[in-house]
Structure 1
Amino acid sequence: MTTPALPLGPELTIAFAATWRETLADAVNAGGNLTLDLGEVTDFDSAGVQLLLAARRSLAERGQQLQVATASPVVRDGLQVFGLQSLLDD
C-alpha cells in the first residue's frame, strides 16, 4: 500500500518555517518513508530548502527516505539552484 503524499504549501518560506517544521517533524516521527506534494507551493525560499534538508536528514538517520512526488515550477527551480534535484521523484 502506498502512503499518500503529504501536501505542503502554498508558502515554504521563513514566515511559515515554524508551522511547516512541526508538520514535517510529525510526519518523520510517524515512521516510514515520506513523500511530499509541493505542487501548490507558490513561494519557496532558503528556509523551505532547509526544512526539506532537515526532514531528509532525520529520515536518513532512521534508514528512510524523503521524496517529492509533485513540485511546482517555483520548487523545481529552487531545488535546482541548490543542486537538490535528487529530491524530485521524476
Structure 2
Amino acid sequence: MTEAATIHCGNRLSIDQVEGLYQKLEAAVLSGGDLTLDAGDVHFCDTAGLQMILSLRKTLAGTGNDISWSAVTDVLKDTAGYLGIRKSLNLPE
C-alpha cells in the first residue's frame, strides 16, 4: 500500500495559485495512492481552486484513491458550504 502524499495548499486556493498547485497535485497523482491536503493556512479560496480539488477527487476515484484533509480553515469550509460542495470535496464536518 502506498503512503498518502501530503500537499500543502498555501494561503490562497484560488485562480492565481491554481497552476502551481496543479503541478504539485499532478506529480502526487502520478506517484499513486491517496492524497492528504493541508489547507490549514487557506485564507482565501474561489471557485477555480475548489473546481481543481473536485477534478482531483474525480481523477483519484478512477484509480481507487481519494483525498483526505489534515487541516481545513473555516474560510474553505464556509465557501464550499455556500456552493453546496462540502460533501463533494470530502471536507470534514
Q: TM-score, normalised by structure 1?
A: 0.86
User: Hey, what's the Cα distance between the residues in 2 that align with 1:43 and 1:82?
Assistant: 15
Q: What corresponds to 1:49 in structure 2? A: 50
More displaced 10-residue stretch of structure 1: 80-89 or 40-49 = 80-89
Partner of 2:85: 84
Moved over 3 A (4+): 1-5
Aligned pairs for 1:13-32 (under 5 A) are: 13-32=14-33
Distance in 2 separating the partners of 1:55 and 1:3: 14
Matching of residues 56-67 of structure 1 within 5 Å: 56-67=57-68
Residue 2 of structure 1 deviates from its aligned partner by 6.0
RMSD: 1.8
Unaligned 5+ runs, structure 1: none
Aligned length: 90
Identity percentage over the alignment? 30
| Structure 1 residue 11: Cα displacement | 0.9
Q: Check the 8 A contact 2:7/2:38 in 1, yes or no.
A: yes
Shift in Å, 1:4: 6.0
Please, what TM-score do these two structures have when normalized by structure 2? 0.84
Give the Å deviation of 1:9: 1.1
